[in-house]
Amino acid sequence: MLPGDAAGHLVEASRDASLVVVGRHRRRLLSPARMMGSVTQAVLLHATTPVAVIPPAQLT
């Protein structure tokens, strides 16, 4: 673990990566724009490589 801003560390790491993979919260909010956390949104906006957003596992 690194101290500080998680999004900033991921964006910095994206400069040397082929792909950044982040997770998504299991939130049930009305707005689709709020279905991701702030770190995921920041990485999507600022990463220099493609970003894959993985939804939470479905419980059956």
pLDDT of residue 27: 62
Task: Return contacts of 14-18, CB within 8 angstroms, 24+ apart.
Answer: 14/43, 14/47, 14/48, 14/49, 14/51, 15/48, 15/49, 17/49, 18/49, 18/50
* In the chain, where the domains are located: 6-54
DSSP 3-state assignment of 60?
A: coil
pLDDT of residue 25: 74
CB 19 within 8 A of CB 54: no
- The tens place of each residue's pLDDT in the chain, 60 residues long, gives 889 999 999 999 999 999 999 988 766 655 555 567 889 999 999 999 999 999 887 666
